Amino acid sequence: MEVKRMFEKLEIIGSSTSQKVKFSKAANNLLNHCFILKKKEDTRLDYIFIKDNRDQFALVFDLLGYDIRIDEDIGLISISNRNGTGRLQFTKFESIMFLILKLLYLEKRNDLSTNGDNVTVTIQEIRDKYNVLKLKNKQKLDKNSERQIIALFKRYNLIKNLSADITQGDTRIEIYPSIMIAIPNEGITHLYESVKDRLIEYEEGEDDADTDEETE
């Protein structure tokens, strides 16, 4: 793209103060949270603004080394860094919990009675998945660690707790489609098996180091 055309595209955004503010807010939210969802009330306006100005956002993020992805089918915008940085960096424990949420999401999606756009699980279901894992030096999943995990995944717009008190087993957690972006675009059955295989690797102690979960 010619330099002149690049600046012409950006001038559209810079034509008014309100547009600049909207652009800055949406861009920062995408950088800080990795995902912007149409269905979330606090990110819906950012989703619409980015989608309507996708060329300008693609240009700016390209200059920063990011590819921007807009998936209108599931109402999700995400970014990935071409240099391999900017990934979700989780500890081993956090990665295991992340994979458990993916597994639960896929299981619910496979259930014909579940609306794929609204996948919910309970805290107890998460606990049950974790408790059956036979891990070496297994970290205790107590109420404090549960709070930390929920807060971490909420920060990245992966989940939302539907009740304020997350210490109760029947507390429901909504898992957003963004949980799928960390897995390649393959068939649901293969994804399910891949996640199970990854959990087995942890059980067998094949990955004792901290993990970078890819958002691609």
Shared domain check, 64 and 154: no
Same-domain status, 99 and 170? yes
The SS3 of residue 181 is coil
pLDDT value for 1: 45
Beta strands in 133-199 (DSSP E): 159-161, 172-175
Domain edge (last residue) among 81, 109, 133: 81
Is there a single domain that holds both residue 98 and residue 195?
yes
Closest CA relative to residue 167, chosen from 131, 138, 127: 127
Note whether 75 and 92 are same-domain residues: no
pLDDT of residue 211: 53
Domain boundary among 81, 101, 134: 81
pLDDT at 67: 92
Cβ atoms of residues 156 and 81 within 8 Å = no
State how many domains the chain has: 2
| pLDDT the model gives residue 91 | 84
pTM: 0.76
Per-residue pLDDT tens, the chain, 216 aa: give them.
444 455 456 665 656 788 888 999 999 999 988 899 999 999 999 999 999 999 989 989 998 899 999 999 889 999 988 876 656 678 888 888 988 999 899 888 877 555 556 899 999 999 999 988 887 778 889 999 999 999 999 999 999 998 888 888 999 999 998 988 754 445 555 656 666 777 777 766 655 545 555 444
Sign of CA dihedral 193, 87, 143, 166: negative
Host domain of residue 26 = 3-81
Residue 182 has what pLDDT?
A: 57
Q: Which residue has the tokens 């894992």?
A: 133
Residue 172 confidence (pLDDT):
94
Residues 53, 142 share a domain: no
175 SS3 class:
strand
Question: Helix/strand/coil (H, E, C) string of 32-91?
Answer: HHCEEECCCCCCHHHHHHHHHCHHHHHHHHHHCCEEEEEECCCCEEEEEECCCCCCEEEC
